[in-house]
Amino acid sequence: MKKIIGVIILCAVFVILGVLFFGQDSSSKKGHIYFNEGFTKAQVEKINKADKDAKLKYNTKYKVKGVFDLEGIDATYVRDVDGDTIVVKIGNKEEKVRFLMMDTPETVKTGTPIEPYGIQAKEFVKSKLSEGDSIKLVSGKNTTDKYGRYLAYVYYKSGDKWYNLNEELIANGLARIAYVYEKKNPLLKDLYNAQDSAKEQKLNIWSINGYVTDKGYDLNAVAN
């Protein structure tokens, strides 16, 4: 009996020590970054601080041009999922829509920590779209991705004009151009002009040297 009680007490001590040591310092309340993901305690703290301190800066030099007439699929905005993914209703069916030719830092991907400026990208989308808003979706050659999400440029209306939200995210340094499968897409030039403007001003994701890569976002640039 004494041995059993001793084992129980010992286990309780280990649990308490684990909570005190790992529960507070090894993970971010927002980002869920753990030591076993290859980062030291000091690096984790640095990543968490960068995520918390990331401040949104707007591009005042580049203006996305609105259009009066736009052909596209009519949809109704339902909610956001991430900076580059939203849920819409087309007719009576809800669909997930992945913004075409761009990528924002992760905020909800399983096994991936919240990346700096991911929350800001998500909030930017929410500042432009409200539940029930009428939007238009303009697709390329591929209408869906391997996850079954609808691929599209997302347009919202302000006044009498429609504005490309993909381009606005890129222009404000909240997304990088990515997954370019249509080299001759007529909208691609505008996206690159928007990205060049954001890079030149070192806005948001471009303010951290080495953070943006061809494959995504490198947390080592933040941690080191």
Tokens 């703290």 found at: 45
- Of 95, 106, 115, 168, the catalytic one is 106
Beta-carbon count within 10 A of 107 CB? 24
Catalytic residue at 149?
yes
Phi and psi for 63 in degrees, rounded to 5?
-120, 125
The span from the CA of 141 to the CA of 60, in Å, is 33
Strands 85-90 and 93-99: antiparallel
Catalytic residue at 106?
yes
- Of 95, 149, 168, 176, the catalytic one is 149
Catalytic residue at 98?
yes
- Of 37, 79, 94, 98, the catalytic one is 98
Taking CB atoms within 8 Å and a gap of at least 24, the contacts of 90-94 are: 90/137
Where in the sequence numbering do the catalytic residues fall?
A: 98, 106, 149
